[in-house]
């Protein structure tokens, strides 16, 4: 259980310019980082090459999204091949904003996960329930269904990090306690044990993503 390496991800979302991101990169490059913790920054698409070229090699870079195929007439999209061509190693998929602002389905997210992994990227796969789903007592049903769509498309779990991010704790003023996050983490690991394998349940890294102030950690 203790063999899982800690993972910390910072999603920059649609923020920054070369000046402000350059300042942030300088801070990260001079920071004291623990060798036992993997650190990955999710940069806007237009700054992927900038981030990878300027961040210290010990800090990973993730694209914030990608499409399910390598190329084609898909205006505004980016493929795993393009991401890798920038020297970037990771992609964030299934983020709540992609699901609930841009309407991405579990099926599409699963297809993206499959193609990203086949292309050699690591995947930070996001899952989480909305406020009305938590209040209705369907948190487990929702996150299990989202996880199933991801699991159906994963062959090598060593390249996957699961990020539980309750939608109700992002920019709403509501907060998830460490106990609430840990409870879902534990249930997810039980689900993985029953539906994927004992080995994957023990080895996969599960992190928390939500409002600032609650440490992002694996369980």
219 found inside a domain = no
pLDDT for position 3: 80
112 found inside a domain = yes
pTM of the model: 0.93
Active site residue 165: yes
Catalytic residue among 38, 95, 115, 185: 95
pLDDT band, residue 176 (cuts 50/70/90): confident
217 found inside a domain = no
Contacts of 80 by beta carbon, 8 Å cutoff, 6+ apart = 66, 70, 91, 115, 116, 119, 120, 121
* Residue 47, burial from CB neighbour count under 10 angstroms (0-12, 13-18, 19+): buried
List the one residue out of 177, 113, 166 whose CA is nearest residue 139.
166
Integer CA distances (angstroms), 189 to 39, 87, 127, in order: 22, 32, 13
The CATH number for 197's domain is 3.20.20.70
pLDDT for position 68: 98
Facing residues of 41 across strands? 10, 61
Residue-range definition of the domain harbouring residue 134: 6-208
Question: How many Å from the N-terminal Cα to the C-terminal Cα in the chain?
Answer: 9
Active site residue 141: no
Catalytic residue among 38, 129, 165, 185: 165
Looking at the chain, the whole-number percentage of residues with pLDDT higher than 70 is 94
Q: Average the pLDDT over 133-155 and give the result.
A: 96
185 found inside a domain = yes
The total domain count for the chain is 1
123 found inside a domain = yes
What is the tens place of the pLDDT at every residue in 103-126?
Answer: 999 999 999 999 999 999 999 999
40 found inside a domain = yes
């Amino acid at each position: 259980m203790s063999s899982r390496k800690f993972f910390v991800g910072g999603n920059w979302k649609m923020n920054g310019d070369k000046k402000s991101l350059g300042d942030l990169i300088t801070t990260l490059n001079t920071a004291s980082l623990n060798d036992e913790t993997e650190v990955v920054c999710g940069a806007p698409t237009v700054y992927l090459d900038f981030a990878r070229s300027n961040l210290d090699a010990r800090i990973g870079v993730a694209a914030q999204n990608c499409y399910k195929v390598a190329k084609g007439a898909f205006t505004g999209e980016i493929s795993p091949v393009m991401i890798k061509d920038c020297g970037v190693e990771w992609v964030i998929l299934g983020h709540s904003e992609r699901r609930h602002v841009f309407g991405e389905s579990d099926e599409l997210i699963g297809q993206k996960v499959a193609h990203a992994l086949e292309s050699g990227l690591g995947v930070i796969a996001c899952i989480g329930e909305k406020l009305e789903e938590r209040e209705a007592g369907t948190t487990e049903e929702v996150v299990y269904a989202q996880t199933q769509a991801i699991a159906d498309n994963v062959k090598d779990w060593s390249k996957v990090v699961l990020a539980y991010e309750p939608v109700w704790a992002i920019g709403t003023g509501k907060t998830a306690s460490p106990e609430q996050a840990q409870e879902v983490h534990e249930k997810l690991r039980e689900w993985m044990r029953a539906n994927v394998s004992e080995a994957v349940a023990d080895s996969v890294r599960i992190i928390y993503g939500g409002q600032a102030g609650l440490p992002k950690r694996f369980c």
